[in-house]
Chain A
């Protein structure tokens, strides 16, 4: 069965430093996708980055990169050069494929606090 785990309820990081948010997953489907979303206090959900299970290289989008370790079933988000505006909830999500379509589930989230 699909499962997403984010073990860090809260994280603190100093402005301009890098931070890693953990995400592990479980699936029996060899074909899946992993996503990270940001939810600021305003409540909107913002898509950050995507990694496919067959992708050979780790995904990167600006200051965001995904440390994908397939054998360990982990997909950690790395934010470089943290900014005050990065303070938000961060959710890891997984989508399985197959004949049933594309069900997507989310982890419990990690609240990131960036300190000035």
Chain B
């Protein structure tokens, strides 16, 4: 079956430009998560959605970062005025409701800021 799909898989852009990263979760999954992973490091929590609502945005690094989810499905993570420190792999995951449901991850978007 279809897994979590992220696009683009790679994005190279110049410092100061805006970027949009897309996540298409597994159909029926109500929870959606965004993480950032720098090379060889752990997963930094950014934001999660329950349906279209984001109960916890505490992980967003600055006001340049925003995310939305529409129709309880696709989510977009937007980074405005990108900086070199934004370079990382951005991972999206989705899960069914329930504390014991594991997350299913996409392959990530590798973002490189020149």
Contact = CB atoms under 8 A, between A and B. Distances in A.
Nearest to B41: A108
A47 B45 contact: no
B100 A105 contact: no
Interface in B26-78: 31, 33, 35, 41-43, 45, 48, 50, 55-56
A8 to B, nearest CB: 13
Contact of A101 (B43, B50, B93, B107): B50
B103 A91 contact: no
Contacts, number: 61
Interface residues of A, number: 26
Of B41, B42, B89, B105, most A-chain CB atoms within 10 Å:
B42
A22 B41 CA distance: 17
Interface stretch (A31-39, A67-75, A80-88): A31-39
Q: Considering residues A31, A32, A44, A105, which has the most beta carbons from chain B within 10 angstroms of its beta carbon?
A: A105
Contacts of B98: 102
Interface string B71-114: 00000000000000000010101010111101111011000000
Contacts of B50: 101-102
Given A33-B100, A52-B100, A102 B45 contact: no
A62 interface: no
5 contacts: A91-B43, A100-B56, A101-B31, A101-B48, A101-B56
